[in-house]
Amino acid sequence: MSGTVRHLYVHLPFCAHRCGYCDFVTVVGREGLHGQYVDALLAELELERAVLEPRLETIFLGGGTPTLTEAGALSRLLGALPPAAELTVEANPETVTAELARFLREAGVTRVSLGAQSFQPRLLTVLERQAGPDDVRGAFYHLRDAKFDNISLDLLHGIPGQSASDLERDIEEALALGPEHISYYELEAKPGTRFTHAHGEELARQAEAMEGYFELVIEQLNEAGYRWYETANFCLTPARAGGRDVRARHNLAYWLGRDYLGLGIGAVSTLGAERRRNTPRLNTYLDGLDRGESPPREIEPLDENVRAQERVMLGLRLDIGLPFAAAKRSLDHAALSRLERLGLAARRAGGDGAETLVLTPRGRRLGGAVTAELLA
């Protein structure tokens, strides 16, 4: 594993405010700590540098709100990262000015993932978002003006109060911007949270409509020339993207079951036979690295069987499926025959002639339930 990891995730947790539905590791306030946090990230990078290849395939700066990070600290971080073919930054629309967009481009960022969520003011209020639809469009134009040619929009379906026509309007608005990539997530509301408490009944109604909503998203985006390449992810086909493959290369590495290193609070790494999860506590993280020590972290051993099963679960999310030979020993073969007969799974010749296991579009829409049945 030493010196062979080609994918790096960096967590920038600061947010101006916590959106009701969000379950990510975030820190609200503590503005004075941005510089110290970036110092700690760079110290952690030095401690881990030996596992990384000198040139990376992908780096992903996720949050939190990476674009809220104080400009000097963000610039220091971007300047110290190893070179990478794809460098993505997650951005909140209300933070994207013309100046920030130019700064990101000049700092070598190749791709921006913009958290739109919806274009309906009413639904953005339910989500407690700070950006309105005009902020989303404005941010998108600033990024285009700064010559970003790979922009992704994050959108949600299943928002309390969202009707099918709201969803259609969101899809139309997103398509009008012409992003290269769209992530369309189903809103997950954790039981016991303030959000779930406030919107319980409406969330139950949404859950019933969810399958229909998901189908609507897939159908409309396919019709508009987007490839449904992963359960929740769509990208322009090469014919529509100037011959480029604009799938999210970083996320693709996760779905292909590759190793990756994660830096920052709450960050996860999967390295050979172990998965690590850094402490989510900001002070504990800062104190550890200030002493020159790795941050406290949970370590989960992963044997080859577990990794093989995870590769099947993740690989079946992709339209390309996964090599059958690699999946074979993790599968319940009686279940596979049954699912093939039901038209939910299929074996096909892959591009290189080797047999590939895929879920059919119907199987992919049902997703986790089909995969769970397939696993031995």
Ligand X SMILES: C[S@@+](CC[C@H](N)C(=O)[O-])C[C@H]1O[C@@H](n2cnc3c(N)ncnc32)[C@H](O)[C@@H]1O
Binding site for ligand SF4 (CB under 6 A): 15, 18-19, 22, 24, 26, 63-65, 92, 115
Asked if residue 265 binds ligand X (CB under 6 A), the reply is no
Asked if residue 168 binds ligand X (CB under 6 A), the reply is no
Could you tell me the smallest distance in angstroms from the CB atom of residue 250 to ligand SF4?
Answer: 17
With CB under 6 A as the contact rule, the residue among 13, 63, 266, 321 that binds ligand X is 63
CA within 13 Å, CB half, 224: 24
Asked if residue 344 binds ligand X (CB under 6 A), the reply is no
Name 183's Cβ contacts closer than 8 Å, sequence gap at least 6. Answer: 113, 152, 153, 154, 155, 232, 233, 234, 248
Distance (Å, rounded) from C-alpha 29 to C-alpha 81? 25
Distance (Å, rounded) from C-alpha 82 to C-alpha 353? 36
Distance (Å, rounded) from C-alpha 153 to C-alpha 273? 34
Asked if residue 115 binds ligand X (CB under 6 A), the reply is yes
- What binding mask, one character per residue, do residues 5-24 give for ligand X by CB under 6 A, x or -? ----------------xxxx
Distance (Å, rounded) from C-alpha 65 to C-alpha 12? 6
Span interacting with ligand X, options 58-66, 74-82, 212-220, 305-313, rule CB under 6 A: 58-66
Comparing CB distances to ligand X, the nearer of 16 and 369 is: 16
Could you tell me the smallest distance in angstroms from the CB atom of residue 110 to ligand SF4?
Answer: 21
Could you tell me the smallest distance in angstroms from the CB atom of residue 144 to ligand SF4?
Answer: 22
Could you tell me the smallest distance in angstroms from the CB atom of residue 16 to ligand SF4?
Answer: 7
Distance (Å, rounded) from C-alpha 177 to C-alpha 140? 8
Q: Which does 18 bind (CB under 5 to 8 A by kind): ligand SF4, ligand X, none?
A: ligand SF4
The whole-angstrom distance between residue 271's C-alpha and the CA centroid of its chain comes to: 19
Asked if residue 156 binds ligand X (CB under 6 A), the reply is yes
User: Any long-range contacts for 82-85 (C-beta under 8 Å, 24+ apart)?
Assistant: 82/8, 82/52, 82/54, 82/55, 82/56, 83/54, 83/55, 83/56, 84/8, 84/55, 84/56, 84/57, 84/58, 84/59, 85/55, 85/56, 85/57, 85/58, 85/110, 85/249
Indicate the residue whose CB is closest to ligand SF4: 22
- What binding mask, one character per residue, do residues 87-106 give for ligand X by CB under 6 A, x or -? ---x-x--------------
Comparing CB distances to ligand X, the nearer of 23 and 106 is: 23
Per-residue CA distances from 183 to 228, 231, 346, 372 (Å):
10, 9, 25, 23
Q: Which does 187 bind (CB under 5 to 8 A by kind): ligand X, ligand SF4, none?
A: ligand X
Comparing CB distances to ligand SF4, the nearer of 51 and 112 is: 112
Q: Which residues bind ligand X (CB under 6 A)?
A: 21-24, 62-63, 65, 90, 92, 115, 117, 154, 156, 185, 187-188
